[in-house]
Amino acid sequence: MPDRLTLIAPDDWHVHLRDDTMLARVIPHTARSFARAIVMPNLRPPITSVDAAMAYRKRIQAACPDGLTFEPLMTAYLTDHIAPEELEQGFADGVFTAAKLYPANATTNSAAGVTSLDGIDAVFTCMARIGMPLLIHGEVTDADVDVFDREAVFIERHLRPLRERHPELRIVLEHITTEQAVDFVGSADRNLAATITPHHLQINRNAMFLGGLRSDFYCLPVIKRERHRLALRRAATSGDARFFLGTDSAPHPREGKETSCGCAGIFNAPYAIESYAQVFDDEGALDQLEGFASRHGPAFYGLPVNSHEITLERVPVEVPDRIDGLVPFHAGEHLPWRVVRDL
């Protein structure tokens, strides 16, 4: 077994960098490990215009520590009323890399999301025409659908019909959590991919209830049973280019997590690549890590792979209990691989 592993520098195809003081706290962690990242637009207010995205991109660049080269790739937040022209303009200008679809009220800051997919069909037609990727939070919000079934139901009720109606639309099903999603994405002939988070690969839903109610493991889509975790691990480590890295690192202040109605989101940015490395190692698939982390994402987005490399070494690293007041994923644990910094 190798003790060192050099990879093309990875990218994070799904991250929440937030804004203001939280942005300043979290950006170093993403920028240290990832060359580029797809930045989610669910701020308050959400990023719904080219101007707002340019201004947010500037704030991210300004908050990025000196000496780190990091490229934020911006996304537009789809609403019931967003104009296709705004997307087309932003995409043509290189401001918007993609657009994000949040079903209204599916997750954090999604109240302004889309209430009916049919209602924005003109947006999908435009995006398909110009080749702009659609990133989907794939969950229904119907109160009568069990929270653990919301992804699988979304696929049948909404994603399958959307794909049939717009086969040219390039779609990423974000942070997949179920074997139904793995099967659906894995059977698509083209124009469909999925991101997978470290936490959905590492833990199953028991983690949320281990010895009490553990809000640090609460995220959306909610973590599922073991069968699904194993399906995700097989997909991620298979070498199939339709699956790639997206951490969904989603920090919330402590008071947002430790309350009677805790926020959804896991802050995994500081040790995300180390966490993925452990998964691939455990699956005997370290040779597939570079594809998942560094090649499949750029291939889908039509971007070049990064020109520099990172090296991981098999030296245990201890994850602190707190980082800047936030609880990181794997808090208090040891991970077997670490990134060699400052080679």
Q: For residue 140, state whether it binds ligand NCD (rule: CB under 6 A).
A: no
To ligand NCD, the closest distance from the beta carbon of 114 in angstroms equals: 14
**CA angle 333-337-310, nearest 5°?**
135
**Choices 122-130, 179-187, 191-199, 243-251 (CB under 5 A): range interacting with Zn ion:** 243-251
Q: Which does 268 bind (CB under 5 to 8 A by kind): ligand NCD, Zn ion, none?
A: none
Buried b (16+ CB within 10 A) or exposed e, 284-307: ebbebbbbbbbbbbbebbeeebbe
- 43 contributes a contact to ligand NCD by CB under 6 A: no
> Cα–Cα distances in Å, from 320 out to 18, 78, 139, 335?
22, 37, 33, 11
Characterise 275 by phi-psi region: left (phi > 0), alpha (psi -120 to 50), beta (else).
alpha
How big is the site for Zn ion, counted in residues (CB under 5 A)? 1
Please pick, from the candidates 248, 274, 281, 290, the single residue that binds Zn ion as defined by CB under 5 A. Answer: 248
Query: What is the signed CA dihedral for 159, 266, 111, 90, rounded to 10 degrees?
Result: -70
Span of 87-95, 125-133, 240-248, 270-278 interacting with Zn ion by CB under 5 A = 240-248
- Residue tagged active-site, from 11, 12, 216, 248: 248
Residue 202 is a binding residue for ligand NCD (CB under 6 A)? no
Is 137 near ligand NCD (CB under 6 A)? Answer: yes
Q: Is the dihedral of CA 204, 29, 108, 13 positive or negative?
A: negative
- Binder of residue 219, out of Zn ion, ligand NCD, none (CB less than 5 to 8 A by kind): ligand NCD
Q: Which of residues 159-188 bind ligand NCD (CB under 6 A)?
A: none
Active site residue 248: yes
CA distance 102 to 137: 5
Range 254-273, binding ligand NCD (CB under 6 A): 264-265
> According to the binding rule CB under 6 A, does residue 290 interact with ligand NCD?
no
DSSP H helical ranges for the chain: 20-33, 50-63, 84-92, 121-130, 150-154, 160-165, 179-186, 198-202, 226-237, 254-257, 272-282, 289-290, 296-301
Nearer to ligand NCD, 247 or 288 (CB): 247
Q: Which stretch binds Zn ion (CB under 5 A): 87-95, 248-256, 305-313, 328-336?
A: 248-256
**Catalytic annotation, residues:** 248
Residues that bind ligand NCD (CB under 6 A): 16, 42, 107-108, 137, 219-220, 248, 250, 264-265
